[in-house]
Amino acid sequence: MSKQIGEVILDLQNISLRFGGVKALTDISFDVREHEIRAIIGPNGAGKSSMLNVINGVYHPQEGVIIFHGRERKKMEPHHAATQGIARTFQNIALFKGMSVLDNIMTGRITRMKANFIEHALWLGRAKREELAHRKKVEEVIDFLEIQHIRKTPVGRLPYGLQKRVELGRALAAEPSMLLLDEPMAGMNVEEKQDMCRFILDVNDQFGTTIVLIEHDMGVVMDISDRVVVLDYGKKIGDGLPDDVKNNEDVIAAYLGVSH
């Protein structure tokens, strides 16, 4: 691949997260470089989704430092993450089922809308101009993900694989610099997985978006990621290039269930 992987843009140092007495994450450190595809893998309950939630500000770790674009941040809410260019998708699809694909993707533009609600209600100059510009961007996303044929379809009527694609579309509509994908391929058949892989690679390649993804399908992870971090029971047990991780004994043990 000919893309240029840049500087570290997200650095997580010694992150620990507890829910009461439950240790979800213990002393985890890793970094994410600009333009790379960074995978987080691990068995069920390893803390992968918690890690993602820490990155986008849903959970606040009790210990550790998060440095994003060179600045340390302690407390951050998810909407701050959104305005700073972090977008995400969810493990269980979180779309508005009764709204059309178009409207769902439009919600991804919300942080970029400037006109206030009175302007929108009265359809004044700025609101109209904005709406047209946003609609154009949304149409580009629709074109990119090849979902023109379901533009006006309510999301609840779509098959699972397409809903996943719409969710990716909503995240893309925010024009993020970093995209967090929580199991983008869970529950898909082979063909849908291949399509999704292609879209993820295309996003990374064409827009230079940095991607952090959680995925169970090892084949997929090894194929598309640049670097992989492996979690087990809230601890980091491996980190490196896909091939290194694949041959790491701890990783093999965690996945094959060898007794500890």
Partner 1 sequence: MSFGAPTGTPEGLGTFPRLLFHHAQTRGDAPAIREKDLGIWQTWTWSDVAERVRALASGLAALGFKRGDNLAIIGDNRPHLYMMMSAAQCLGGVPVPFYQDAVADEMLFVLKDAAIRFAAVEDQEQVDKLLDVMDRVPLLEHIVYDDPRGMRHYNQPYLHDIHALMEMGRIHNRNHPDFLDAEVAQGRTDDVSVMLYTSGTTGMPKGVCQTHAAFIASAQGGRQIDRLEATGDILSYLPMAWVGDHLFSFAQALVVGFTINCPESGDTVMTDLREIGPTYYFAPPRVFESLLTSVMIRMEDAGVIKRRMFHYFLGVAKRCGSAILDGKPVGLGDRLLYGLGTLLVYGPLRNVLGLSRIRVAYTAGAAIGPELFSFYRSIGINLKQLYGQTETCAYVCLQPDGQVKPSSVGAPAPGVEIKIADNGEVLVKGPMLLKGYYQRPDATAESIDADGYFMTGDAGFIDADGHLNIIDRAKDVGKLANGAMFAPNYIENKLKFFQYIKEVVCFGHEQDRVCAFVNIDVGAVGNWAERRGIAYSGYTDLTGKPPVHELIKTCVDEVNATLAHDAMVAESQIHRFLILHKELDPDDDELTRTRKVRRNFVAKKYQVLIDALYGGQATQFIETEVKFEDGRRGKVSADLRIIDAETFPVAKQAA
CB nearer to partner 1: pick between 142 and 172: 142
Q: Is residue 77 near partner 1 by the rule CB under 8 A?
A: no
Q: Contact region for partner 1 (CB under 8 A) — 5-13, 55-63, 68-76, 133-141?
A: 133-141
- Burial readout 227-257 (b: 16 or more C-beta within 10 A, e: otherwise): bbbbbbbbbbbbbeebeebbebebbeebeee
The least distance separating partner 1 from the CB of residue 150, rounded to whole angstroms, comes to: 8
Tokens 């069920």 locate to: 44
Q: Contact region for partner 1 (CB under 8 A) — 11-19, 51-59, 105-113, 144-152?
A: 144-152
CB nearer to partner 1: pick between 2 and 44: 2
SS3 content of the chain, % helix, strand, coil (to 5): 40, 25, 35
**DSSP conformational letter for 187:** T
Count other C-beta atoms under 10 Å from residue 69's C-beta. Answer: 15
CB nearer to partner 1: pick between 136 and 260: 136
**Rounded to whole angstroms, how far apart are CA atoms 126 and 195?**
38
CB nearer to partner 1: pick between 63 and 146: 146
Binders of partner 1 among residues 151 to 170 (CB under 8 A) are 151-152
Judged by CB under 8 A, which of 20, 206, 256, 260 binds partner 1? Answer: 206
CB nearer to partner 1: pick between 62 and 148: 148
Q: Is residue 142 near partner 1 by the rule CB under 8 A?
A: yes
Q: Is residue 148 near partner 1 by the rule CB under 8 A?
A: yes
Q: Is residue 223 near partner 1 by the rule CB under 8 A?
A: no
The distance of Cα 229 from the centroid of its chain, to the nearest Å, equals 15
- Classify residue 73 as exposed, middle or buried by CB count within 10 Å of its CB (0-12, 13-18, 19+): middle
Judged by CB under 8 A, which of 77, 140, 223, 249 binds partner 1? Answer: 140
Count other C-beta atoms under 10 Å from residue 28's C-beta. Answer: 24
The least distance separating partner 1 from the CB of residue 2, rounded to whole angstroms, comes to: 6
DSSP of 204-228: HHHH--EEEEE-S-HHHHHHH-SEE
Residues at the site binding partner 1, with contacts judged by CB under 8 A: 2, 135-136, 139-140, 142-144, 146, 148-149, 151-152, 194, 202, 205-206
